[in-house]
Copies of this chain bind each other. A is one copy, B any other.
Amino acid sequence: MRTEDLPEIRHLPLFRNMLQANFDDLMRGAYAQNFPAGLELIQQGQPADFLHVVVEGSVELFSGWQDNRCTMAVVDPIGTFILAACIKDAPYLMSARTLERSRIILVPASDLRAIFRRDPEFAVSVIGELASCYRAMVRHAKNLKLRNSRERLAAYLMKQSQGRFGDESFKLNVEKRLIASYLGMTPENLSRNFKALEAHGVKIEGQTVTIFDRRALEAICPLDRLLDGADEHSTQNGVGLPFGI
């Protein structure tokens, strides 16, 4: 793996506080790889062999059942995924595929399990990371159960617009069909919801979204700290969402 990747990985909340010797051990067994867009990195149901760290590009986590599939999250740099499966030594609950050309570090799950047992600081970091992932998934489930599809879209747009320059106009960084799946609706329904929101302070032009009347949009769906907030130090935070609220 490229040595220039190491400092950035070392700086991750998950690896920041562990002993250097243990970090070195962990990285010795690890290797980096470049993948083209659209490649399926892991399939749900497979045994968890590697913790994945996204260094460049982005990865979709998704699930399938019968003929249905749905997006569960998108992981951007620098983020990790399927930590929980690695720790439990259990099958992946989600599949993963690259959305673009991506550079991924693969850390053997067995090394991971061995090292957090002997490095208490690392164990504490893993605890923090898992707690964040858990809370993110609780929010995701709450969002699905407590809001209808139009409200979910409104909240998504407001959350996306935060933490960006200008705070008014921004570009969607993933396909609309993926957003639809992430928000639990069909692409057709998303399209109609976009249109419906044009009467409530939002303008859509291709990939560009402009919130020209935030108050009107908030009237449709006020953001909520317990639904739309994000914990600090989370590395896997839904569809590329900035922190805050």
By a beta-carbon cutoff of 8 Å, the part of chain A in contact with chain B is 44-45, 63-66, 68-70, 72, 83-85, 87-88, 90-91, 93-94, 116-118, 120, 123-124, 126-128, 130-135, 137-142, 144-147, 184, 222, 224-227, 231
Chain B residues contacting A116 (CB-CB under 8 Å) are 123-124, 127
Main secondary structure of the interface of A (DSSP, over half): helix
| Closest residue of B by beta carbon distance from A90 | B231
Residues of B within 8 A of A145 (CB): 63, 68, 70, 144, 184
Say yes or no: A64 contacts B146, CB within 8 Å: yes
- Taking a contact as CB atoms under 8 Å apart, the answer to whether A93 and B131 are in contact is no
Q: A70-B146, A130-B130, A140-B141 are in contact. Are A124 and B135 (CB under 8 A)?
A: no
B-side contacts of A123, CB under 8 Å = 116, 120, 123-124, 127
Residue of B nearest to A44 (CB): B226
Expressed in whole angstroms, the Cα–Cα distance for A147 and B144 within the complex equals 13
A69 → chain B, closest Cβ, in Å?
Answer: 8
Contact flag A142-B72 (CB < 8 Å), given A45-B226, A124-B123:
yes
- Within 8 Å CB of A93, what residues of B? 135, 138-139, 142, 226
Q: Is the CB of A135 within 8 A of B226?
A: no
Query: Contact between A84 and B131 (Cβ–Cβ < 8 Å)?
Result: yes
